[in-house]
Structure 1
Amino acid sequence: MNWGVAHRIAGIAAAQAHRDLGIDRNSYVPVHQAVKTAGLVGMAQPMPRLFGVYFSPADNGPAVLLNANLNIVTQRHTAAHELGHHILHHRTAVDDDLSPALRWGNGSWPDEEKTAEAFAAWFLMPRPAVLAGLDRICQGQPASPEHVYRLARELGTSYAGTVRHLQNLRLLNADRARQWAKISPAALRSSLAGGAALPADAQVHVVTAASHLQRVHADAGDVLIARGAGAAFVSLPKGLARWTDAPPTAEPAAAAVVTDELSEPAVLDVSAAGWKEPVQLTVVRDAPRAGVHDVWPD
């Protein structure tokens, strides 16, 4: 099976799963919640050499075991991949060294792994959510790798995976996708943060006038940046603090960092001189899951 066939199968299966699991296809997909809704037992624990495991009904499942040491973006992708095994009625699968960045498209993936991997992309990045995000970020036309990085932050996906999926959706041509895939996400994070060096797992979330009433899914250490003349946080709720490491830039900006104190959704108001009204958004903590799914946050 080639990747084109895998994506056609997975795209149909993901759309059906969105319908059956009550997923809003216009926004961020809560994959851990979807695992629960699908009736799978969910568990997460540190596993040095594994991304995840899917146990089929034939092996006392259905259940998924996730690596609790993964960052939230990688764990979300792994959860979607394991859910894909279930939705597609696959056998028990142990997913270890299946990094798309290393082995994408070289023919070495088994068919069931190809369709589960493609399912993860279509499940986490439904076309309506992609189009809505691009409309907010760049009027629907991604013109720079920073636009793709910002879209990935809205969807809770990896930069490289988002680049590939935009090509699948025919929203990015193959040449540009190849060029942009070579760019380091760390370089994009630093660029959006005004040249600052950030911890490896810290993400940058850009706030604009189009962010009004959006939900920002962030983990501790992530940075929120509002750029524009007079940009300012009207107030910072518990769990958010002014980012003191923000470097001076030519473009005025306000920056805040998510702290470990963020446990409940926090409402944040941001103003700027060029905005008609203050932007209000909700910051939601999304950290890697650990333990059994009965204690996972929704």
Structure 2
Amino acid sequence: MNWAVAHRIAGIAAAQAHRDLGIDRTRYVPVHQALKTADLVGMAQPMPRLFGVYFSPADNGPAVLLNANLNIVTQRHTAAHELGHHQLRHRTAADDDLSPALRWGNGSWPDEEKIAEAFAAWFLMPRPAVLAGLDRICQGQPTSPEHVYRLARELGTSYTGTVRHLQNLRLLDADRARQWTKISPAALRSFLAGGAALPSDAHVHVVTADSHLQQVHADVGDVLIVRGGGAYFVSLSKGLARWTDAAQATEPVEAAVVTEELSDPAVLEVSAPGQDEPVQLTVMRDSPRAGVHDVWPD
């Protein structure tokens, strides 16, 4: 089976899963919550080599085991991959060396793994959510890799995976997708932060007037950058603090960092020129899950 066929099968299966699991296809997909809704027993624990494991009903499942050491983006993708195995009624599968960055498209993946991998992309990046995000970020047309990075932050996906999925959705041509996948996400983060130093695992979330009433899903250390001349934070809730390293930026930036104190969703208000009312958005902490799914936050 080639990847084109795998994506056709996965796209249909993901749309059916969205319907069956009550997923809002216009926004960020809560994949850990979807595992619960699908009646999968979920557990996450540190594992040195495995990304995740799916246990089929034939092997005392359905259940999913996730690596608690993964960052949130990789764990979300792995969770969606394992959910794909379940939705497509695959056999028990242990996913260890299936790194898209190393082996994408070289023909070495088993058919069920190809379909589950494609399912993860279609499940986490439904077309309506992609279009809504692109409309906010770039009037619907991604013309720079920074646009794709920002879309990935809205969807909770990897930069490279988002570039590839835009090609699948025919929103990005193959040549541009090939060029953009060669760009380092670290370089994009640095550019969006104005050249200020960032922790290696920190993401950058850009806030504009079009962010009004949106949700930002972030982890500790992530930075929120306000775009728009003269825009500033009206106030910072508990769990958000001024990002002092913003002073290193090549030009003045208004920025906040997510701290360990963020547990409940925090409302962030930004005063933007030309706006009668402050821009309001909700910052939600989305960290890698650990332990059993009964204690995972939704």
Same fold flag (TM > 0.5): yes
User: Structure 1 stretches (4+) deviating beyond 2 angstroms?
Assistant: 247-253, 272-277
1:249 offset after TM fit, Å? 4.4
Separation (CA, whole Å) in 2 of partners of 1:263 and 1:68:
19
- Residue 206 in structure 1 maps to residue 201 in structure 2: no
Structure 1 contact 216–284 (Cα < 8 Å) conserved = yes
Name the structure 1 match of 2:174.
174
Aligned residues with identical type, % of pairs = 88
Q: Secondary structure at the match of 1:136?
A: helix
Name the structure 2 match of 1:106.
106
Can you list the C-alpha shifts for 1:109-168, whole angstroms capped at 9, x where unaligned? 000000000000000000000000000000000000000000000000000000000000
Name the structure 1 match of 2:157.
157
Can you list the C-alpha shifts for 1:191-242, whole angstroms capped at 9, x where unaligned? 0001122112210000000000000000000000002222211000000000
Structure 1 contact 229–274 (Cα < 8 Å) conserved = no
Q: Secondary structure at the match of 1:246?
A: helix
Q: Secondary structure at the match of 1:245?
A: helix
Structure 1 range deviating more: 194-203 or 157-166: 194-203
1:26 offset after TM fit, Å? 0.1
Residue type of the alignment partner of 2:63: A
Residue type of the alignment partner of 1:294: D
Q: Secondary structure at the match of 2:53?
A: strand
Where structure 1 has 5 or more consecutive residues not aligned to the other structure, the ranges are none
- Residue 50 in structure 1 maps to residue 50 in structure 2: yes
Name the structure 2 match of 1:228.
228
Residue type of the alignment partner of 1:46: P
Separation (CA, whole Å) in 2 of partners of 1:250 and 1:92:
51
Structure 1 contact 217–283 (Cα < 8 Å) conserved = yes
Q: CA RMSD in A?
A: 0.9
Structure 2 contact 152–159 (Cα < 8 Å) conserved = yes
Name the structure 1 match of 2:69.
69
Separation (CA, whole Å) in 2 of partners of 1:201 and 1:295:
25
Q: Secondary structure at the match of 2:254?
A: strand
Q: Secondary structure at the match of 1:106?
A: coil
Separation (CA, whole Å) in 2 of partners of 1:107 and 1:281:
43
Separation (CA, whole Å) in 1 of partners of 2:233 and 2:47:
40
Name the structure 1 match of 2:260.
260
Residue type of the alignment partner of 2:237: P
Residue type of the alignment partner of 1:101: A
TM-score (norm 2): 0.98
What is the aligned length?
298
Structure 1 range deviating more: 84-93 or 248-257: 248-257
Name the structure 2 match of 1:4.
4
